[in-house]
Chains A and B, each alone.
Chain A
């Protein structure tokens, strides 16, 4: 089965700085890679996703890059704000059937004002 590893487990940055979270996956057949944000006491919510036919995707201050050859993908947050503080989960799946998502272990991001 798929195995997703995520680093770092915790990350603290000053407000305005950038944050980068990295994930690797094991199954070369995986082709869909979403990122979820979970604020304290709340449910996970999708913030951005990328498919294997694209190398990079950007949405305002967040971007995701994918290297299929190396089987790793990264989340980049620029100009961080205190409200970016949360746990971020990467995931991988094959975009067929029921879209089973296999999640990384999460990164707790703290943005220091």
Chain B
């Protein structure tokens, strides 16, 4: 499969559950991102990994825990979430290179998360 993929596409979980979201990019990129998209605050940047190093944690609660084992894979581990965490979680990737003509971020299809 090409581009940026995310699994699962839909997830329903209780507040006491532990689950993980997975993102994979097949574009040879070296930076990956997690965004939260909800009706109230569209496209909030959550985490950034640059060459597998976390470079940004945008004041995200500790119940969200990212993991980037290599430049192609990104996970978001979830535990003891709250109903207000229900949203679309989007993964993106980009190629960071000196002199790059574009800084385009390529998004995955998202995981629609519902917390009961």
**Inter-chain contact B103/A93, CB cutoff 8 Å:** yes
Interface contacts (Cβ under 8 Å), in number, total 56
List A contacts of B33 (CB < 8 A).
101
Q: Give the complex CA separation of A46 and B31 in angstroms.
A: 17
**Inter-chain contact A43/B43, CB cutoff 8 Å:** no
Q: Give the complex CA separation of A43 and B108 in angstroms.
A: 6
Q: Is B20 an interface residue (CB 8 A)?
A: no
**Inter-chain contact A98/B90, CB cutoff 8 Å:** no
Identify the closest chain A residue to B59 (Cβ): A1
**Inter-chain contact A32/B43, CB cutoff 8 Å:** no
Identify the closest chain A residue to B108 (Cβ): A43
Q: Give the complex CA separation of A46 and B44 in angstroms.
A: 17
List A contacts of B105 (CB < 8 A).
46, 99, 101
* Chain B contacts with A in 15-43, Cβ cutoff 8 A: 31, 33, 41-43
**Inter-chain contact A101/B107, CB cutoff 8 Å:** no
Our pick among A34, A49, A93, A103 for the contact of B42 (Cβ within 8 Å) is: A103
Assess A106 versus B50: contact at CB under 8 Å? Given A49-B103, A98-B96, A101-B105: no
**Inter-chain contact B104/A49, CB cutoff 8 Å:** yes
Assess A43 versus B102: contact at CB under 8 Å? Given A98-B31, A106-B42: no
Q: Give the complex CA separation of A9 and B9 in angstroms.
A: 27
Q: Give the complex CA separation of A87 and B55 in angstroms.
A: 29
Q: Give the complex CA separation of A91 and B48 in angstroms.
A: 16
* Chain A contacts with B in 36-72, Cβ cutoff 8 A: 42-46, 49
List A contacts of B48 (CB < 8 A).
98, 100
Q: Is A89 an interface residue (CB 8 A)?
A: yes
B binding-site residues for A, Cβ under 8 Å: 31, 33, 41-45, 48-50, 55-56, 90, 94, 96, 102-105, 107-110
Given contacts A100-B55, A105-B42, could you give 8 more A-B pairs where the C-beta distance is less than 8 Å?
A: A44-B90, A46-B102, A49-B104, A98-B56, A99-B105, A101-B105, A102-B45, A103-B43
A binding-site residues for B, Cβ under 8 Å: 32, 34, 42-46, 49, 87, 89, 91, 93, 95, 97-103, 105-106
